[in-house]
């Protein structure tokens, strides 16, 4: 068990380098098994979700070498095997082995995926898509068995623009016979990054980044190992940008793609926050008198659900009443009791939080209930008076690489210790 200890109210100044996007890397790593041979993924973030996926690759008899942020995966001796619950339950993204193994081997046995407890997280859209391609789906207790004699391209209409289902169906259809068209596809930047990897392997995919993705199956050819760079993590970037708006003094966030964080920067501008964007970096300082604002999360390019919890801390320091509505996950308010314990004034009604500010925050002992909720407590601890102790820090380390070191470098007093 790990614990984070923060001494708050130190001004943050200097530079933070953003790593590769967790939500892209966790799909690119399983995608490697679609190709035969060696793939190289660069800019891979140093997060525990990465390590959990590497362990699954090893079960599948892949050779994996990690050199800093470069991951080399050799699938030459791939052997299809059961992915046991102790591996699949370590993270949500283990379900990308469903689409990848189904696409490559036409057979997969995997236990239910894990991940943050932010809602019921069904995978019916994935399974319906696999079935539409011709797969048989059997569920035995907690195990999914997917089988197909042949996968046949078809039109698939997603009832919701699910990120995971869009990616899994691209994986399942790259080798299918004929053409698959995914309608109402997710449009996240991560989807483009993942499609680019498959295209580099030799897949025939068009339309990634729009709501219609077309995959022409390559049937009798084999995809070849390829190289891809993970795009910058827009959620990690957003988290540190919010921190800069609260306690930064010329805090520069480097290695960002400004187009992917526009929903956040638009809201910051409306609140009166001052920042400058130059090429791939953003510099921000604490602004006085930030205005309260209403926010509703939405699918890309709307305001990202994954930034909602960090953003709620900024709203506790803004003047007036903000209404924050989460629309994607039904259980993304787990951080609110901790923020209120620190002195925030937040009331929650279903998926809507009403936040009255500004309220000074005071350090105390709090619990990270999930990844982004945990990140919001780090922000709260850094602006609070006195000492904050965060327990269950493992949630945070699943998605933020070297968070303690990156923050120490810009002046934060933050340490992680084993307890
Ligand atoms: N949904 C269904 N059925 C499905 C799939 C999704 O009902 O088969 C519902 C979900 O319950 C949810 C909504 O659709 O209400 C969105 O789900 P989506 O499938 O888009 O999310 P995901 O692929 O499971 C990814 C990220 C999440 C991020 C969402 C939305 C990964 C590993 N996870 O999840 O990231 O919130 O997209 O952008 O890529 C995080 O990083 O903290 C995180 C939770």
Write out the DSSP string of 345-378: EEEEETTEEEEEE----B--EEE--SHHHHHHHH
Helix axes 234-247, 262-271, angle to 10 degrees: 20
pLDDT, position 381: 98
User: Residues 38, 145: one domain?
Assistant: yes
User: Residues 50, 72: one domain?
Assistant: yes
User: Residues 66, 138: one domain?
Assistant: yes
User: Residues 273, 409: one domain?
Assistant: yes
pLDDT, position 288: 87
Q: Which domain CATH number covers 345?
A: 3.65.10.10
Neighbour tally for 276: CB within 10 Å:
11
User: Residues 203, 253: one domain?
Assistant: no
Query: How remote is the CA of residue 169 from the centroid of ligand 1, in Å?
Result: 14
User: Residues 275, 127: one domain?
Assistant: no
User: Residues 134, 248: one domain?
Assistant: no
Query: How remote is the CA of residue 164 from the centroid of ligand 1, in Å?
Result: 6
Q: Which ligand 1 atom sits nearest the alpha carbon of residue 304? A: 38
User: Residues 221, 205: one domain?
Assistant: yes
User: Residues 271, 321: one domain?
Assistant: yes
Catalytic residue, from 12, 101, 108, 116: name it.
Answer: 116
Structural domain boundaries, residue 278: 2-19+232-418
pLDDT, position 158: 98
Beta bridge partners of 397: none
Q: Is 364 a catalytic residue?
A: no
Alpha-carbon distance of 389 to 380, in angstroms, equals: 11
Q: Name the residue of 169, 327, 328, 368 whose CB sits within 8 Å of the most ligand 1 atoms, as the mutation to test its pocket.
A: 328
pLDDT, position 234: 98
User: Residues 30, 10: one domain?
Assistant: no
pLDDT, position 117: 85
Structure tokens at 278: 């130059």
Q: Which residues line ligand 1 (CB under 6 A)?
A: 23, 26, 92-93, 116, 118-119, 121-126, 160, 162-165, 186, 235, 305-306, 328-329, 371-372, 399
pLDDT, position 7: 98
User: Residues 387, 242: one domain?
Assistant: yes
Alpha-carbon distance of 233 to 267, in angstroms, equals: 19
Query: How remote is the CA of residue 163 from the centroid of ligand 1, in Å?
Result: 6
Domain edge (last residue) among 200, 229, 258: 229
Neighbour tally for 68: CB within 10 Å:
9
pLDDT one digit per residue (tens) for the chain, 419 residues: 999 999 999 999 999 999 999 999 999 999 999 999 999 999 999 999 999 999 999 999 999 999 999 999 999 999 999 999 999 999 999 999 999 999 999 999 999 898 888 878 899 999 999 999 999 999 998 999 999 999 999 999 999 999 999 999 999 999 999 999 999 999 999 999 999 999 999 999 999 999 999 999 998 789 999 999 999 999 999 999 999 999 999 999 999 999 999 999 999 999 999 999 999 999 999 998 999 999 999 999 999 999 999 999 999 999 999 999 999 999 999 999 999 999 999 999 999 999 999 999 999 999 999 999 999 999 999 999 999 999 999 999 999 999 999 999 999 999 999 99
pLDDT, position 221: 85
Domain edge (last residue) among 204, 229, 254: 229
Q: Which ligand 1 atom sits nearest the alpha carbon of residue 121? A: 11
Alpha-carbon distance of 268 to 202, in angstroms, equals: 41
Alpha-carbon distance of 304 to 329, in angstroms, equals: 11
Domain edge (last residue) among 211, 229, 247: 229
Q: Name the residue of 163, 233, 238 whose CB sits within 8 Å of the most ligand 1 atoms, as the mutation to test its pocket.
A: 163
Contact (CB, 8 A) for 185 and 16: no
The total number of structural domains that make up the chain:
2
Alpha-carbon distance of 275 to 296, in angstroms, equals: 22
User: Residues 303, 195: one domain?
Assistant: no
């Amino acid at each position: 068990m790990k614990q984070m200890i923060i001494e708050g109210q130190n001004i943050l100044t200097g530079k933070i380098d953003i790593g590769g996007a967790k939500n892209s890397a966790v799909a690119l790593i399983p995608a490697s098994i679609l190709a035969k041979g060696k793939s190289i993924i660069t800019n891979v973030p140093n997060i525990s979700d990465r390590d959990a996926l590497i362990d699954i690759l090893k079960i599948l008899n892949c050779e994996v070498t990690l050199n800093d942020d470069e991951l080399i995966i050799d699938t030459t001796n791939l052997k299809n095997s059961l992915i046991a619950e102790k591996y699949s339950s370590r993270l949500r993204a283990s379900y990308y082995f469903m689409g990848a193994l189904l696409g490559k081997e036409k057979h997969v046995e995997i236990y239910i995926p894990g991940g943050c407890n932010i809602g019921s997280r069904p995978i019916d859209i994935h399974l319906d898509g696999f079935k539409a391609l011709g797969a048989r789906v059997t569920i035995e207790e907690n195990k999914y068995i997917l089988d197909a004699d042949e996968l046949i391209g078809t039109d698939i209409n997603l009832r919701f623009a699910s990120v995971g289902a869009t990616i899994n169906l691209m994986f399942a259809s790259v080798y299918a016979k004929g053409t698959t068209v995914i309608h109402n596809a997710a449009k996240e930047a991560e989807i483009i990054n993942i499609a680019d990897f498959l295209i580099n392997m030799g897949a025939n995919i068009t339309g990634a980044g729009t709501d219609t993705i077309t995959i022409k199956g390559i049937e009798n050819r084999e995809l070849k190992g390829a190289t891809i760079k993970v795009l910058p993590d827009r959620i990690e970037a957003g988290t540190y940008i919010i921190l800069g708006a609260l306690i930064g003094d010329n805090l520069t966030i480097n290695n960002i793609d400004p187009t992917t964080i526009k929903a956040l920067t638009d809201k910051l501008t409306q609140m009166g926050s001052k920042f400058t964007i130059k090429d791939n970096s953003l510099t921000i300082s604490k602004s006085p008198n930030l205005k309260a604002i209403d926010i509703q999360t939405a699918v890309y390019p709307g305001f990202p659900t994954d930034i909602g919890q960090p953003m709620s801390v900024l709203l506790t320091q803004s003047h007036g009443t903000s209404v924050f509505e989460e629309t994607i996950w039904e259980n993304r308010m787990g951080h609110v009791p901790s923020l209120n314990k620190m002195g925030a004034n937040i009331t929650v009604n279903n998926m809507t939080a009403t936040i009255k500010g500004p309220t000074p925050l005071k350090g105390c002992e709090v619990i990270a209930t999930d990844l982004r909720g945990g990140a919001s407590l780090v922000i709260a601890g850094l602006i609070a008076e006195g000492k904050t102790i965060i327990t269950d820090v493992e949630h945070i380390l699943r998605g933020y690489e070297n968070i303690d070191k990156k923050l120490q470098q810009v002046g934060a007093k933050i340490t992680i210790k084993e307890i």
